[in-house]
Amino acid sequence: MIDLSLVDFFPNLITKVISLNFMTNYSTLSEISPSEWLSLNQFVQELKEINSKCISVYYPYGKGTDTIQLLRETSRSELLKKIESKIESKILDLKKNPVSVGKFTKTLCVFGWIKNDKIQIKVIGTSQKLPYVYMVNKKPYVKPFSDILKTNYNVLLVTVDQKTARIQKFHGNQIVQESKLKIDLQGRHKKGGQSQGRFLRARQTKIHVFFKKVANKVRLMDVGTELILLGGNGPGKTEFYDELTSEISSKCRFVEGLSFTTSVNDIHKIIIHHLYEYRKKHMKELIQKYEKLVKDGLTAKRNNVIYRALEMGSVETLIVSANYHTNSQFKNILKMLEIAKKTSCKIEFATSPQIIKKLELDDSVLAILRYRIK
């Protein structure tokens, strides 16, 4: 679908889209991998920070020449011409080196705008087929991404105070399970002395029992969850945290500014931000674990060794660069991933540029082993 409500819409766009026959049925979109989801979400969040008029171009892989032709046939202002010229150059670069945005890319997305009198260009590829789009708007046009940003990651969002709790399980940006708990809690006791002391103890006991019930509900909903985000006004969230088991509390991250009135849009931003930061920290710790185990012979880094270890079932964790499809060994890596999925081996995709660079020195894959192999 092309959004006709956007400003400065190019008049020739509709006929060009139809004649090139690149309209997409969103219902055919498949779920993307966790690594691509993280990369796209981070990319979209960066685009949303742009507050300048932006040219957004989405085009199918292999159709760079047609896209450049479309750019040149459209009337535009001198300012837009300068941006489009840079976009054309980027499209030509992508024609020469399409692997730079992924070997399995089906749609290339290029964005151009001006910041501090300099033309800025951002580009990303996706494995999904998106509609052929070329338009100018007050901000980058990111609507086509909204239908594909579904994730394999589950996140629990727990909003709690001393008398109310809301537990929401998100799969991507969809709430797949929700539970609300509440108790009647008297706020103040006017009498003093022993009566007030008994009241406060009874009140605290009631809160403690309530938090126990909430903690049990969180435990029941914590199935396949990557991360638990904990927020709410007042001291309730920290008191509740003390009721959690060590297994669950290790997944928890406190979120400032999260309350029962936080908008859905802000909740999605919170989830994306914390999941990205969590994954980045998790991967850093995983690499540190790998480096510590090297001396014990519980690691592997050559593809032929990793392949053999996978067939033996000795791989505990496979660490793969999110850019593995740009590596010359990508076919071998695909085979390793197929074997890993059939075993109890964990697959971790690294999205951090620093870790990806490190992984590229070892053909984009490292392995942590359960036991030493000969």
Judge whether residue 33 has pLDDT over 70: no
Give the pLDDT of residue 146.
67
Give the pLDDT of residue 277.
82
Give the pLDDT of residue 41.
75
User: In the chain, pLDDT over 90 holds for what percent of residues?
Assistant: 32
Give the pLDDT of residue 189.
55
Question: Cα–Cα distances in Å, from 250 out to 171, 230, 371?
Answer: 20, 12, 26
User: In the chain, pLDDT over 70 holds for what percent of residues?
Assistant: 82
Tally of CB atoms within 10 A around 213: 13
Average pLDDT rounded to a whole number, residues 45-51: 86
Judge whether residue 304 has pLDDT over 80: yes
Average pLDDT rounded to a whole number, residues 96-116: 82
The larger pLDDT score, comparing residue 338 to residue 239, is at 239
- Among 289-293, 342-346, 357-361, 367-371, the range scoring the smallest mean pLDDT is 357-361
For 174-219, the pLDDT digits (tens) are 788 999 999 987 766 555 555 777 778 888 889 989 999 999 999 9
For 260-297, the pLDDT digits (tens) are 999 888 888 888 788 878 878 888 899 999 999 999 99
Judge whether residue 112 has pLDDT over 90: yes
- Which of 140, 141, 129 lies closest to 105, judged by CA? 129
Give the pLDDT of residue 167.
95
pLDDT band at 99 (very low <50, low <70, confident <90, very high): low
Average pLDDT, the chain: 80
Judge whether residue 309 has pLDDT over 70: yes
Please write down the HEC assignment for all residues of 52-106.
Answer: CCEEEEEEECCCHHHHHHHHHHCCCCHHHHHHHHHHHHHHHHHHHCHHHHCCCCC
Average pLDDT rounded to a whole number, residues 2-27: 31
Q: What is the edge-to-edge ordering of all strands in the sheet holding 299-300? A: 299-300, 365-369, 315-321, 346-350
The sign of the dihedral angle between the CA atoms of 3, 5, 10, 16 is positive
What one-character DSSP code corresponds to residue 129? Answer: -
Give the pLDDT of residue 194.
59
User: 12-16, 71-75, 143-147, 301-305 — which one is most confidently predicted on average?
Assistant: 301-305
Give the pLDDT of residue 170.
87
Give the pLDDT of residue 327.
65
- Among 12-16, 38-42, 62-66, 169-173, the range scoring the smallest mean pLDDT is 12-16
Give the pLDDT of residue 118.
93
Judge whether residue 351 has pLDDT over 80: no
| Domains by residue range for the chain, with CATH | 13-146 (no CATH), 154-262 (3.30.420.60), 283-369 (3.30.1330.30)
The larger pLDDT score, comparing residue 26 to residue 146, is at 146
